């Protein structure tokens, strides 16, 4: 990490409450955390960030899941299902195939509603409860709506979700429906849904829980904290690089914030900060464009398309927080084709790890960067897989094996198997003494 990064913990402004406040990332204006509903800066409309006057170190963490890290979060009592403590899988064959020193897969599909969005919602919905609002809303490519519906219901609050019609995977709509959200299908893309829901929030119709909401990113920091703790426990060091799919770039921003706070607390040396490496689909790659062109701002793509619907986003709202994260950690960003995403989804499935298409983008991106020599063969890498296979059953059917119809008869089943023999089964017959 470059030395531009401050290693000093910030001093609390007068409007801080219990050592916590909101601060504008552009103009530095500060606000009390819960005195009013506020998503962006009153003065310049830029993004806000939660700040703390005391930052925890590793010894301050205790327990399991997201709330193990309550010392790094705004509360210690929350609307929780619970979430976090997801597996960090070994994938020896994939590691060898990609050609890196170590490869681990942090599978966020193992959260309660099947995506990392739960980590943000446990904090965001707790803030909503604190503020005393009675209606929650989000725009979503699917997983945010599933998580918000579940956490909203858990908290006894009404939930509205705005979805781009025809572009949300079946499992995600099913979750939002059963967890009792009102589902508004918009004839438009995700970015347009977000425009509308921001308007609704500005008019006081609902509390906004997209990743524009700075409290959600606090919960998502815990992905980075879990990865660092577990990797160090297993390998005695931190990973060199973390590769993740990028949609609104909330996770990229959240992981960067987690690392910055650890550095400021003296818990992580700047040289040990992993390189944040973002992956987008070729048909929705405005962040990659900005990184490649060394641009200060991301250009909004009006037309986006990819089968990885979770990252079918043309206007990543957290770009002002995420671009510095990629740059300051010496990371990069890369775009991958839908075919490469499907191949990576199959490769993960072969290791027993079932993910939705957007999640596989991380592995596809790593493969591409390793082929190009951008990622070195000595590197220790963690790929984030963001959502579960069952989120998008249609994509799984398309990427997987065709079911083979067979007659209702053992001999005919046998002759079907022999007709298209895989050559397997010999060992079993010997073991059975046949
Ligand atoms: C939300 C989501 C993303 C995108 O994450 P950002 O933090 O918005 O970049 C990626 N994959 C899946 C499965 C998601 O649900
Ligand atoms: Zn401002």
Closest CA to 268 of 245, 234, 239, 244: 239
- Whose atoms come closest to the Cα of 31: which ligand? 2
Q: Check: CB of residue 111 under 8 Å from CB of residue 144.
A: no
- As a whole number of angstroms, the longest Cα–Cα distance in the chain is 81
From the centroid of its chain, how far is CA 38?
23
Residue 326 and residue 279: Cα distance in Å, rounded? 11
Classify residue 222 by its DSSP letter: H
Among 161, 219, 311, the mutation site with the greatest number of ligand 1 atoms within 8 A of its Cβ is: 311
Does 84-112+214-394 match 117-208 in CATH topology? yes
Tokens of 27: 């103009």
Q: At how many degrees (to 10) do helices 117-131 and 143-155 cross?
A: 40
C-alpha distances (whole Å) from 96 to each of 101, 259, 376 are 8, 28, 13
How many other CB atoms are there within 10 angstroms of residue 146's CB atom? 32
CA atoms within 13 A on the CB side of 338: 14
Record the pTM.
0.96
CATH of segment(s) 84-112+214-394: 3.40.50.1100
Annotated domain spans of the chain = 84-112+214-394, 117-208, 408-434
Q: At how many degrees (to 10) do helices 319-328 and 250-264 cross?
A: 60
Among 358, 364, 383, 390, the mutation site with the greatest number of ligand 1 atoms within 8 A of its Cβ is: 358
* Ligand 2 midpoint to CA 21 (Å): 14
In the chain the first and final C-alpha atoms are separated, in Å, by: 63
* Ligand 2 midpoint to CA 30 (Å): 8
| Residues in CB range of 247: below 8 A, 6 or more apart | 141, 310, 311, 312, 313, 316, 358
* Ligand 1 midpoint to CA 121 (Å): 13
| Residues in CB range of 263: below 8 A, 6 or more apart | 1, 5, 7, 269, 270, 273
Closest CA to 310 of 358, 346, 274: 358
* Ligand 1 midpoint to CA 10 (Å): 30
Fold of 117-208: Rossmann fold (3.40.50)
Q: Ligand 1 pocket: which residues have CB below 6 Å?
A: 115, 117, 143, 211, 245-251, 310-311, 356, 358-359, 386-387
Q: What is the 3-state secondary structure (H, E, C) of 315-326?
A: CCCCHHHHHHHH
Q: Determine the atom of ligand 1 nearest the C-alpha atom of 142.
A: 15
The reported pLDDT for the residue numbered 7 is 64
H/E segment holding residue 350: helix 338-350
The reported pLDDT for the residue numbered 434 is 77
DSSP 118-163: HHHHHHHHHHHHHHT--EEEEE-SSHHHHHHHHHHHHHT-EEEEEE
The reported pLDDT for the residue numbered 3 is 42
* Averaged pLDDT in 10-residue chunks for the chain of 434 residues: 59 94 97 93 97 97 98 92 98 98 98 98 96 96 98 98 96 98 97 96 96 97 98 98 98 98 98 98 98 97 97 98 98 98 98 98 98 98 98 97 96 92 76 82
* Ligand 2 midpoint to CA 360 (Å): 36
């Amino acid at each position: 990490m470059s030395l531009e990064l401050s290693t000093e913990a910030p001093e609390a402004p007068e409007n801080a409450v219990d050592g916590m406040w909101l601060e504008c990332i552009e103009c530095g204006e500060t606000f009390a955390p819960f005195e009013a509903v506020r998503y962006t800066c009153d003065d310049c409309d830029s993004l806000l960030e939660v700040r703390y006057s005391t930052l925890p170190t590793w010894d301050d963490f205790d327990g399991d899941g997201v709330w193990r890290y309550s010392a790094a979060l705004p509360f210690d009592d929350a609307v929780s299902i619970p979430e976090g403590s997801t597996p960090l899988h070994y994938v020896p064959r994939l590691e060898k195939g990609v050609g890196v020193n170590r490869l681990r897969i942090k599978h966020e599909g193992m959260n309660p509603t099947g995506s990392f969005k739960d980590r943000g919602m446990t904090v965001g919905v707790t803030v909503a409860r604190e503020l005393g609002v009675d209606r929650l809303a989000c725009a979503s490519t699917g997983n945010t709506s599933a998580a918000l519906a579940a956490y909203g219901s858990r908290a006894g609050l009404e939930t509205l979700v705005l979805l781009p019609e025809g572009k949300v995977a079946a499992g995600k709509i099913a979750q939002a429906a059963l967890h009792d959200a009102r589902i508004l299908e918009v004839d438009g893309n995700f970015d347009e849904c977000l425009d509308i829901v921001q308007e609704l929030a500005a008019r006081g119709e609902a509390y906004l829980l997209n990743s524009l909401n700075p409290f959600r990113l606090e919960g998502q920091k815990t992905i980075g904290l879990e990865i660092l703790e577990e990797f160090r426990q297993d390998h005695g060091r931190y990973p060199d690089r973390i590769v993740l799919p990028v949609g609104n770039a909330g996770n990229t921003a959240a992981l960067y914030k987690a690392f910055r706070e650890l550095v400021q607390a003296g818990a992580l040396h700047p040289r040990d900060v992993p390189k944040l490496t973002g992956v987008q689909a070729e048909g929705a790659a405005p962040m990659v464009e900005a990184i490649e062109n060394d641009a200060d701002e991301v250009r909004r793509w009006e037309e986006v398309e990819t089968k990885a619907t979770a990252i079918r986003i043309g206007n990543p709202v957290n770009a002002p927080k995420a671009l510095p994260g990629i740059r300051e950690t010496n990371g990069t960003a890369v775009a991958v084709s839908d075919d490469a995403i499907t191949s990576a989804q199959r490769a993960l499935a072969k290791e027993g790890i079932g993910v939705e298409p957007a999640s596989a983008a991380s592995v596809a991106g790593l493969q591409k960067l390793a082929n190009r020599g951008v990622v070195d063969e000595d590197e220790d890498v963690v790929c984030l897989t963001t959502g579960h296979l069952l989120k998008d059953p249609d994509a799984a059917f398309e990427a997987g094996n065709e079911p083979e119809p067979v007659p209702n008869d053992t001999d005919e089943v046998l002759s079907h198997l022999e007709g298209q023999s895989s050559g397997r089964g010999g060992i079993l017959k010997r073991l059975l003494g046949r």
